[in-house]
Amino acid sequence: MDSLALFDDDMQVAEAAVPVLPVTDTVIPRRTPIARKAADIPLGPTVLAVDGNSLAHRGYHAYAGRRDDGDLVGAGLYGFLALLAAVVDIVRPASTVIGFDCRKRSVRKEAWPAYKGQRPDKPDALDALLDEIPLALDALGACVVTHEGYEADDVCGSVAASAEVANRRCVVATSDRDAFSLVSDATSVLRIRSGMHRAQRMDTTRYRRELGIAPGQYTEFAALRGDTSDNLPGINGIGPKRAKDLLNRFETVEQAVADPMGCRSVLGPEVGQVLIDDLASEESVFHRNIDLMTIHRHLGVDLDAGVAATPTTTIESYLRGRRLGGLVERMVLCFGTVHSGQAPPPLDDDDAPPLPI
């Protein structure tokens, strides 16, 4: 069996956990700017918002997806939990909230049926895994959040919004680059790629250097260039470079279109006019993309529901019952009432359960 590509010996703890402040549920209207606190006032304890679907896909394809025999769901569950433990080792949050896509309906598909319409059906094992993981997390005492009609990144965005209002720091763990739209003085994104050694921590310091635009401009950037992964074409003639050039000249696309000569000078006469005409149309591609790409931040979440509070015996009993005993100490770090204070050694295939389980 190939060595797992999820873990790295040199992972460093980003920040120490601190005592949890009392927080009440906060509902943030969609697209409403969040008031920024004074720069000299320190932010409170960190909340980790996890895109559960993103981690499930990563865990499945890195572990179970490499096998064509055995219990793929059990192996995928191991991969998901191991990856989650690695994220917690890095962030060391005071509380963790794990969001999942609603499996019943999608407000985005209802608004535009072609949304993600090009994607093939999930493998049966992955589909079953997405049903199994929330049940396993519930048994471990994790805070799992699903809102009808919404996606995991909407849950993460709502966690980030509530954390910012409560003067708390938030880290969003995902492989979805759309989460870059959430980056602020209080919120960073830990983007998980092909392995934890390649995980990218995106904050305001490196935002412009890496992306070439300012924090807060990502959704408009994506709406201009489109997103093939979600089956959302962009504006004809505008790719990443032209989109960045426009947003470097103008703060928003609306401001660019309000200055037709300036817009045409940046994009070129023909492409500039295409954008101007699009925004004037009742079937605007740009406005449609903004509506579908904007992460909802208004969903109700309880930040303190993610504080680790599960008895160690409960965690150990469940994991050993699933023949996942190699994950006990790591899951105690994630969800247990007793923490060892030190990160366990990195996982490797010797910790994995035998297959089939």
Q: Check: CB of residue 271 under 8 Å from CB of residue 244.
A: no
Structure confidence at residue 71 (pLDDT) = 80
83 half-sphere exposure, CB direction, 13 A CA radius: 37
Tell me which residues of the chain have a pLDDT lower than 50.
1-39, 339-342, 353-357
- Report the alpha-carbon distance of residue 328 to residue 314 in Å, rounded: 10
Angle between helices 260-267 and 269-280 (to 10 degrees): 130
Tokens of 229: 């992964």
This prediction has a pTM of 0.83
Does domain 212-293 correspond to CATH entry 1.10.150.20?
A: yes
Which of 81, 83, 51, 57 has its CA nearest to residue 174?
Answer: 51
- Report the alpha-carbon distance of residue 110 to residue 302 in Å, rounded: 27
Structure confidence at residue 9 (pLDDT) = 35
Structure confidence at residue 26 (pLDDT) = 41
Structure confidence at residue 132 (pLDDT) = 95
- Report the alpha-carbon distance of residue 89 to residue 276 in Å, rounded: 48
CATH superfamily of 45-210+296-340: 5'-nuclease (3.40.50.1010)
Structure confidence at residue 352 (pLDDT) = 53
Domain boundaries, the chain: 45-210+296-340, 212-293
Tokens 């605007």, residue located: 284
